[in-house]
Amino acid sequence: MPKTPKRGGASRPKTHAPRKRFGQNFLNDQGVIAAIARTINPHPEDNVVEIGPGQGALTDALFESGCAIKAIEIDRDLQSQLRVMFFNRDFTLFNYDALKFDFNELSNADHDLRIVGNLPYNISTPLIFKLLTHLPIIRDMHFMLQKEVVDRLAASPGNKHWGRLSVMTQVDCDVEHLFDVPPEAFYPQPKVQSAIVRLMPRSSAHRPECSREQLGKLVQLAFAQRRKTLRNNLRSIIDDTTMQRLGIDPACRAETLTLDQLMDLSLELSEAAI
């Protein structure tokens, strides 16, 4: 993993009082902002979608490449500031809740959306689960997240962070933990460390015969009580003999199972089972 980028000077005067309910921790460090933009490396023809542009710190850096940006921002009070700031850019702003937004509206072709965002911590997990259902229109995603969420996205089997988020992301995306960002890079400073992650949808599906919806339900049950055995968590839907036939020890915990073992279990279940 590359090192945390060198910090630079503070970026802009704070004209807007940050709102906690919208998870507003604005990027405030030019060194970090430039490092994120370099990592994303937008090209003029890219279809870039930014979730939560805030006061435009990252947006401004991304615009240097000459790309067009479509942004989804829930806070109405930031709209006029953003529109003034980017009046001479190819900027389309949607005043909307990203969790309710129809991302299909933004796509012109298969795998064309480059989705980026310093995501508000309170919506990051549900938003990632939503975007995982739109992978055919997504080229890549770069997010700033709480480091603990990046650890979960990038976890391997046997790791304490391996769970529903890791499995359902890694089944269809390559996950890369790019670098960490300290609290001092934001205004106001969050209490936790942050990190940048890249999620890259795979060009061909791994075991497409395994329904992602069914896998999601199975994984939710298997990890429902992490300290319990698989036998206990899956008692109502799958028996010991079936698990043993698949080479899976019913006395193990779900966090020891690989992605393929979870897919094997899921394929054993009929649609009606869960």
Q: Which residues bind ligand SAM (CB under 6 A)?
A: 22-27, 51-55, 57-58, 72-75, 97-99, 118, 120, 123
Nearer to ligand SAM, 185 or 215 (CB): 185
The 3-state DSSP class for residue 15 equals coil
Nearer to ligand SAM, 95 or 244 (CB): 95
Nearer to ligand SAM, 75 or 151 (CB): 75
Cβ count within 10 A of residue 202: 12
- Least separation in angstroms between residue 195's CB and ligand SAM is 14
- Least separation in angstroms between residue 94's CB and ligand SAM is 9
- Least separation in angstroms between residue 245's CB and ligand SAM is 45
CA 100, 105, 111, 115 dihedral sign is: negative
Q: Tokens 């429902």 identify what position?
A: 224
- Least separation in angstroms between residue 25's CB and ligand SAM is 5
- Least separation in angstroms between residue 111's CB and ligand SAM is 23
Residue type at 181 in one-letter notation: V
Helix (H) or strand (E) holding 94: strand 91-95
Nearer to ligand SAM, 130 or 228 (CB): 130
- Least separation in angstroms between residue 66's CB and ligand SAM is 20
Residue nearest to ligand SAM (CB): 52
Backbone dihedral angles phi then psi of residue 215, each to the nearest 5 degrees? -60, -40
Nearer to ligand SAM, 145 or 259 (CB): 145
The 3-state DSSP class for residue 201 equals strand
The 3-state DSSP class for residue 267 equals helix
Q: 219: which 2 tokens? A: 């994984």
Nearer to ligand SAM, 58 or 215 (CB): 58
**Residue (of 254, 252, 142, 130) closest to 198 by Cα position:** 142
- Least separation in angstroms between residue 152's CB and ligand SAM is 19
Do residues 126 and 60 touch, judged by C-beta distance below 8 A?
A: no
**Residue (of 196, 201, 208, 143) closest to 170 by Cα position:** 201
How would you label 10-47 residue by residue, b for 16+ Cβ within 10 Å and e otherwise? ebeeeeeebeeebbbbbbbbbebbebbbebbebeeebb
Beta bridge partners of 95: 73
Nearer to ligand SAM, 170 or 194 (CB): 194
